[in-house]
Amino acid sequence: MSPRRPIQLLDDALIDQIAAGEVIERPASAVKELVENALDARARHIEVALEQGGLDLLEVSDDGEGISRDDLPLAIVAHATSKISTLEDLHAVSSRGFRGEALASMGAVGDLEIVTRAAGSPEAWLLEVGGGKPGVPKPTARAQGTTVRLRHLFRHVPARRKFLKSPRAECLRCEEWLDRLALSVPGVELTLRLDGRVKRQWRAGGMEARIEDVTRASGFRKGEASGSGFEVMAWVAEPACAKVNRNGQFFYYNSRPIRDRMLSQVLLQSTREFIPDRRHAVAVIHISSDPTHADVNVHPTKEEVRFDRPRDVASLVTRAVRSALAGGGYAPELISMPRPQVQEPSPSPNLPRAQRPVAENWNAPGLLGEAHASPAPSRRFMQVHGSFVVVETDEGLSILDQHALHERILLETMRRELLAGGVERQNLLIPQSLQFQPGEAAALQDLGPHLEKAGFAIEVHGSSDVLVSALPVSLSPGSLQGLLRDIVERADGISNPDDIRLLATRLCACRSAVKAGDTLEPGEIEALIRGLSEEDYSFACEHGRPTHVRIPLARLSRGFARH
Ligand code: ADP
Ligand code: MG
């Protein structure tokens, strides 16, 4: 070991560089800070230019309010900010920056240059900071706004340089930050130039267009929820756009990008039943409130927030996400068929137009529709292979998965009943007596009271006898034992009674739904078709798989080489 060095005070420049390294870790952190400054200055156009991944040059220009000559030397002093001045301000901060560290840090880790012209000022000023030492402002020319130019990033901090990735990778990180910021300000135009060439442009417009631009997903729908002083807006892309990772998920608090494990978890939970396993919804969530309801000061780069009522925020996010997905007609197309190879299609036999396919299994249109007084128009349908139902629709045909669709309809029905007080139950004249393992029976004893609203009346006797005197109307008594076993197994580790009831209801829907192979009565099929158009979430079963697929007529015609 080398001999211990005597304790020494670090010199100021070194202290600044160490502190600066915490704020400016890599080019992307500088881009983020500078763009946030431009947004705080109410810029409408912001241009970011990078050379060599931002290491040779990193420049951000805006058309915001600018900085006056007198303020300019202050802007680059540590802890100098125009945004807060008292401790009370800190708790009500609505600007993006407020620590007054960013420009000072940049001056310590690179060669900084600011060109600015304040609104209403006749002249522009240039201030250079080399090696942490500011010069004096010099007059120059510029339109209103500010350009901050950072050259030779980390030249004086070789240790930082070592942790950087390739210029390409650093540019990608900058671009990711611009995407995140762009989603908070759809009305602001952003441009990214790499080594002189325009790489990306985020055009000013509405939120929907900006979201599609950033996420490259489509079919966004918006949901809202508010309460406890918070407002939540959720934009969720169609389930088919779901990704294998969470890169398509963006969270904001008062327009500021945030990361929050609790919120990610809530989004996962609330989309789980609409999105297939191991996929993640593409979604943008904006939470807003009076700034006093949250502490944004918990993390140096302000990506974390602490809400005063996190549980309320969580349930608002769930409500907003669910309402965004409600009523979405998301059925995927069954076949994406390549165009036929044949160039000259042979003339198709001329079938009389009015002639309808007459198969014995098709329902007679009209009869059933009137008999059941269904609000949905009567559709021609046919059950095939005991598992699927083919339905004629306006645009072509749909094929329903009878189990998946029925499961969703039952779940939504029971969920509504649950919210209204309790799932509708059937009382057994003679209670059913079931035998369980002692561990299961003990668990059922604990779960019993929570399951009452979910439609069950359960009593445990001795170490393994379970007496069931009521169960949800949709469930057949023969499925009871299996269902209760599933509930015990899956409820392990869940403590919130509402979550337990919802779980029981989900599992019950799955067990109660018609199975593949069950022959359905026409009335049952009609009920399924009705549910398809009436239920808000009829596009997915509770495992997030599609309940039906579409085949548009145009596809059929193409398949038969008709044009
Ligand atoms: P903070 O943003 O935390 O206040 P900064 O170091 O990022 O700290 O900026 C210091 C000050 O410089 C800001 O408070 C603001 O007054 C001014 N400033 C920085 N960038 C701009 C800009 N692009 N336009 C106008 N003023 C700016
Ligand atoms: Mg700032």
Q: How would you write 282-341 as a 3-class SS string?
A: CEEEEEEECHHHEECCCCCCCCCCEECCHHHHHHHHHHHHHHHHCCCCCCCECCCCCCCC
Ligand 1 atom closest to the Cα of residue 104 is 6
Say how many residues make up the chain: 563
Amino acid at 399: I
Locate tokens 């060095």: which residue?
Answer: 5
* pLDDT on residue 198: 97
* pLDDT on residue 20: 67
* pLDDT on residue 337: 47
- Protein residue with its CA nearest to atom 2 in ligand 1: 97
* pLDDT on residue 10: 67
Distance 81 CA to ligand 1 centre (A): 6
* pLDDT on residue 156: 76
* pLDDT on residue 377: 53
**Angle between the 438-451 and 497-512 helix axes, to the nearest 10 degrees?**
100
Q: Is 387 exposed, middle or buried, given 0-12, 13-18 or 19+ CB atoms closer than 10 A?
A: middle
Using CA of residue 65, residue 71, residue 77, residue 78, what is the dihedral sign? Answer: negative
Distance 24 CA to ligand 2 centre (A): 12
- Of the listed ligands, the closest to the CA of 100 is 1
Instruction: Report residue 222: phi and psi, to 5°.
Output: -110, 140
Ligand 1 atom closest to the Cα of residue 102 is 6
Instruction: Return d(Cα 499, Cα 50) in angstroms, integer.
Output: 49
- Protein residue with its CA nearest to atom 14 in ligand 1: 81
Distance 37 CA to ligand 1 centre (A): 5
DSSP 44: S
* pLDDT on residue 36: 95
Instruction: Return d(Cα 48, Cα 32) in angstroms, integer.
Output: 10
Distance 99 CA to ligand 2 centre (A): 7
Q: 464 near 436, Cβ under 8 Å?
A: yes
Ligand 1 atom closest to the Cα of residue 99 is 3
Ligand 1 atom closest to the Cα of residue 66 is 25
Distance 253 CA to ligand 1 centre (A): 21
- Protein residue with its CA nearest to atom 12 in ligand 1: 75
Distance 101 CA to ligand 2 centre (A): 7
**H helices, E strands: number in the chain:** 17, 23
Distance 116 CA to ligand 1 centre (A): 11
Q: Is 457 exposed, middle or buried, given 0-12, 13-18 or 19+ CB atoms closer than 10 A?
A: middle
Which positions of the chain have pLDDT values less than 70? 1-3, 10, 13-15, 17-21, 87, 90-93, 300-302, 336-378
Q: What is the CA radius of gyration of the chain?
A: 31
* pLDDT on residue 327: 84
Instruction: Return d(Cα 391, Cα 329) in angstroms, integer.
Output: 16
pTM over 0.85: no
Ligand 1 lining (C-beta closer than 6 Å): 33, 37-38, 41, 62, 64-67, 75, 81-83, 97-104, 146
Distance 100 CA to ligand 1 centre (A): 7
Could you give the C-alpha distances from 152 to 109, 156, 161, 310, in angstroms and in order?
8, 8, 11, 43
Ligand 1 atom closest to the Cα of residue 84 is 4
Tell me the per-residue pLDDT of 24-51, one tens digit each, with 9 for 90 and over.
889 999 999 999 999 999 999 999 999 9
- Of the listed ligands, the closest to the CA of 76 is 1
* pLDDT on residue 366: 32
- Of the listed ligands, the closest to the CA of 82 is 1
Q: 128 near 151, Cβ under 8 Å?
A: no
Instruction: Return d(Cα 234, Cα 69) in angstroms, integer.
Output: 42
Strands 294-295 and 283-289: unpaired
Which of 32, 40, 62, 129 for a ligand 1 pocket mutation test, highest count of atoms within 8 Å of Cβ?
40
* pLDDT on residue 358: 34
Instruction: Return d(Cα 199, Cα 447) in angstroms, integer.
Output: 58
